[in-house]
Structure 1
Amino acid sequence: MASRVVKGGPALTEYLNATKSAEPLYGDVQKHVLEKAMRPSGRRQDVLHPSEMVKADWCHLAAFHRLRRQAEPAEKRRTTFTRENIFQEGHETHSKWQRWFTEMGRLAGDWHCRACDQIFWDDQTPTCCRVCSASRRCVEYAEVPLNADPLRIGGKADGYSPQDSALIEIKTLGLGSLRYERPEFLERYMVETEEFGKLPDLTRLWRDFRRPLPSAVRQTQLYMYLCVHFEDLEVDRTVFFYDFKSTQETKSFTVTYDEGFSEPLIEAAAAIVDCVKSDTAPRCNINGRSGCPSCIEFKEQK
């Protein structure tokens, strides 16, 4: 039997800590999850991902290197059991909402057949596999591919409803998300308690949460641009569905398409692709000649 290996770094520390768990089964499941997390993810490295493009620290030079080498920088994958647990919870939330929309016949997109392992497009819930005619039970939703091949942009939206001319985005909201993206909003609802110090007033916080997080809005604007200009999908808005982790309450929000929002990102992508074609590295747009952490990681691999 092949030995199990987890590479050094934070993941190795977490893995070794799992071996010290007082309950062996708990330690074993942590090690199992971390081993899975360190395997190649299958995430495409030959495209620009919208989720990265919309970040304030998106480095054009790092993007150039990744497209050119089609590889992540060394030690890019860092994780913990808690982080993987959060990711899995998000996947489960996606599956739940997508299952409901599928039952309603409101989802269009790619569908995957487990019987023949083929993917096909359908504008509504298919009654069988379009490739091998396997029963509906063999077919699962595979989301909405959004690609701009000339610009080497590739991503996926959580859903698409042709009847509503809308993309669908499914999100979970936790205190960690707010702490990272809207710390000033979270701080507004922190209250002092005698026994535990500062704690968030979850009822008031959720009541006053009235718009999607900024990164989600930026990403979906780019998704809608791809729909309109490259995928020929009729889209004029994105509908967000948020699950609040702390209470399992839900909310929805609508963001309308803004044509001009994504134009600077599209121009940057075109410039990066031109640099790849000419094999001429652009300057780091984050920190000039010195470089930023993202592109320095690539330089250190030389």
Structure 2
Amino acid sequence: MAPSNRKAPRVGTRKRAPIPTSLSEFLTEKRGAAEENFLGTVRKDIVELNKADNSRRQDIIHPSEMVKTDWCPKATFLRIQTGIHHKQSFGFQSLNIFDTGHEAHRKWQNRAWRIGWLEGKFKCLHCQHHWWDISPRHCPACNSPAMEYAEVPLSAEDTHLIVGHSDGMLTPAKSLLEVKTVGEGTVRFEEPARLAEHLIDLPDGRTLVDLAAMWASIKVPFPSHIRQGQIYLWLSQKHGHDVDKMTFVYESKFNQDVKQFTVRYNPDLIAPLLAKALDIKERLDSGRPAPECVNDTGCKQCKPYLENADDSQTPRRGRRETLGEDDTDTEPTRDEDSQPTRGRAPRPTSQPDGTRRRRTDGSLRGADPMGRVRRNTAGRSSGGREGR
């Protein structure tokens, strides 16, 4: 009998899933139950990491809070006096925006380091040695090249309770450095009138922002950035640093174009803010009551303290042990119900998918009362030119 040409069936094999016939079918294939969702896992991790971060001090006054147009000294006083911090919540999108800004800081700090301009505090990643230097190549303690920049810590805690840090110090220019990433949300928060000037109404009723034109219209730093830079310069003067100007590097978020502005030191611009900080410290030291709220009916910053004045939480008086000096500048995209925490609190967080994008034609807040800066105060520079 002739042998059969048929092959014996394989044992234990499974039928292959049909191959998608188009890219859209491939992308919409359902994941198996055991397959991990990478983006979802990252979102959750970032939010949880933010919840566990207790590095931001709550027993001092941060320059970034002082320079906001809606800063309420009463809320700052109550935060320091009671030891209770009412957190503002952010979603994953906001946290992602903040991380983008931090990465931009590191990028420009590394570039200044490579050309030998960067002065400040450095940390060895091998032996943990900290020291002050100008663009070092090796750790002076162990000779390791593994180092990171710890920026320029600045403090007037003994006189005004103000503590912060500048992004860098550019020694050849005798200037501090501040790096800012600028996008639609930045302009909405800092200069809403400028955003309104560059809105385009489409035939279907939608509204878009002319990002290129809006970016081109920025000729001087935003008022709150100028105030923040002036506070850092004032702190630097107290530390005896040889700097008399602030160099701002603005990087566009939508096309990575870059602008440089140089603003000379002018303490008159921040004299009212320093007076308020001094008043807060004197009231805390003497046991006097809190200063008046910026709003006759109470603002959103100090209301939580007044609403919880009779709850079961016992306020703690005085300042706490220092855990860190972080003065990260943020641009809030949404407010949620705040939750009080004692002492130094984690940075604000929210659910991973909690952030909603604002409408381009949404309500805009009022203009910064500081107004526009005189042309001789801030000058744009593409090759080292500065305003006088």
TM-score normalized by the length of structure 2:
0.67
Counterpart of 1:173 (choices 162, 166, 182) is 182
**Structure number with larger C-alpha Rg:** 2
1:119 corresponds in structure 2 to: 130
Given the alignment, which residue of 163, 183, 193 partners 1:154? 163
Distance (Å, rounded) in 2 between the aligned partners of 1:126 and 1:185: 42
1:79 maps to 2:84: no
Following superposition, the deviation at residue 225 of structure 1 comes to 1.1
Which amino acid in structure 2 is aligned with residue 166 of structure 1? Answer: S
* Corresponding letter in the other structure for 1:274: E
Partner of residue 147, structure 2 = 139
Encode CA deviations 1:202-229: one digit per residue, 9 max, x unaligned: 222222211111211111111111111x
1:273 maps to which of 275, 281, 286 = 281
SS class of match (1:293): coil
Q: For 1:154, what is the secondary structure of its paired residue?
A: strand
- Shift in CA distance, 116/279, structure 1 to aligned 2, threshold 3 Å: farther
Aligned twin of 1:47: 60
Tell me which residue corresponds to 2:251: 243
Q: Which moved more, 1:235-244 or 1:261-270?
A: 261-270
Give the structure with the higher percent helix: 1
Instruction: Give 5+ residue unaligned stretches, structure 1.
Output: 1-21
Cα distance change of structure 1 residues 210 and 102 upon mapping to structure 2, 3 Å threshold: same
Q: How does 1:199-214 map to 2 (within 5 A)?
A: 199-214=208-223
Q: Deviations over 1:226-260 (max 9, x none)?
A: 111x1111222111111101111111111111121
Matched, 1:106 2:97: no
Shift of 1:40: 2.9
d(CA) in 2 for partners of 1:299 and 1:156?
A: 31
- Contact in 1 for aligned 2:155/2:163 (Cα 8 Å): yes
What is the distance in 1 between the residues matched to 2:151 and 2:79? Answer: 25
2:373 aligned partner: none
- Measured on the aligned residues, the alpha-carbon RMSD in Å equals 1.9
Identity rate of aligned residues, in percent? 36
Alpha-carbon distance in 2 for matches of 1:204, 1:144: 34
Measure the CA separation in 2 of the matches of 1:80 and 1:234. 40
1:41 Cα deviation after fit = 3.3
Q: Distance in 1 between matches of 2:80 and 2:243?
A: 29
Partner SS, residue 302 of structure 2? helix
Pair 1:208–1:121, CA change in 2 (3 A) = same
Which residue of the partner structure matches residue 304 of structure 2?
297
The 2-side partners of 1:162 and 1:41 are apart by 32
Q: Distance in 2 between matches of 1:219 and 1:193?
A: 38
Unaligned runs of 5+ in 2: 1-34, 310-388
> What is the aligned partner in structure 1 of residue 43 from structure 2?
30
Larger relative contact order (Cα-Cα within 8 Å, sequence gap ≥ 6): 2
Partners in 2 of 1:71 and 1:286 — Cα distance? Answer: 20
Equivalent residues of 2:293, 2:302 under 8 A apart? no
Between Structure 1 and Structure 2, how many residues are aligned?
274
Return the letter of the residue paired with 1:259.
P
Question: Quick one: distance in 1 between partners of 2:55 and 2:143?
Answer: 26
Alpha carbons 1:284, 1:292 under 8 Å: kept:
no
